[in-house]
């Protein structure tokens, strides 16, 4: 790096020293950037692994919750079906009672007024 001028060596000048320091700084910067990049890649791999595990855990929780909701839904449907069956059974029983009351009225055991009162109460339930 020394300049030769007319057969004599010149001492290294300020520009040459500055350029040598700049080259060293650039090399150091590149080394630090490479190290930071390696660490970032390693961290990214760890983060991706954690994200995958978290995703798996969340998926399992969602599946469990889905099953609970399905079971509750089936239970509610069954309750509704049972209530509907009871309601239908009660309506049928009430209709049978009305028929019996009509026979009692026809045979003279119940008066028209008594029949109408009973009929009104039964129809109010339906």
Residue 1 pLDDT grade (very low, low, confident, very high; cuts 50, 70, 90) = very low
Residue 3 falls within a domain, yes or no? no
Residue 111 falls within a domain, yes or no? yes
Residue 7 falls within a domain, yes or no? no
Rounded mean pLDDT, 45-49: 88
8 pLDDT more than 60: no
Is 85:50 a contact under the CB 8 Å cutoff? no
Beta bridge partners of 4: 9
Residue 71 falls within a domain, yes or no? yes
Residue 19 falls within a domain, yes or no? yes
What is the number of domains present in the chain? Answer: 1
- pTM metric for this prediction: 0.41
The domain in which residue 33 lies consists of 12-125
**Paired tokens of 62:** 């969602």
Residue 66 falls within a domain, yes or no? yes
Beta bridge partners of 8: 5
Residue 1 falls within a domain, yes or no? no
């Amino acid at each position: 790096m020394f300049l030769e001028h007319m057969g004599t060596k010149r001492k290294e000048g300020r520009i040459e020293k500055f350029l040598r320091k700049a080259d060293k700084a650039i090399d150091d910067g590149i080394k630090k950037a490479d190290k930071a990049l390696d660490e970032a890649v390693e961290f990214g791999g760890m983060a991706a692994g954690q994200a995958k595990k978290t995703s798996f855990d969340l998926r399992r929780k969602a599946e469990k919750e889905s099953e609970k909701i399905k079971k509750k839904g089936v239970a509610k449907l069954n309750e509704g079906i049972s209530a509907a069956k009871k309601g239908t059974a009660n309506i049928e029983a009430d209709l049978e009672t009305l028929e019996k009351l009509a026979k009692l009225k026809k045979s003279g055991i119940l008066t028209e007024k008594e029949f109408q009162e009973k009929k009104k109460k039964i129809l109010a339930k339906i």
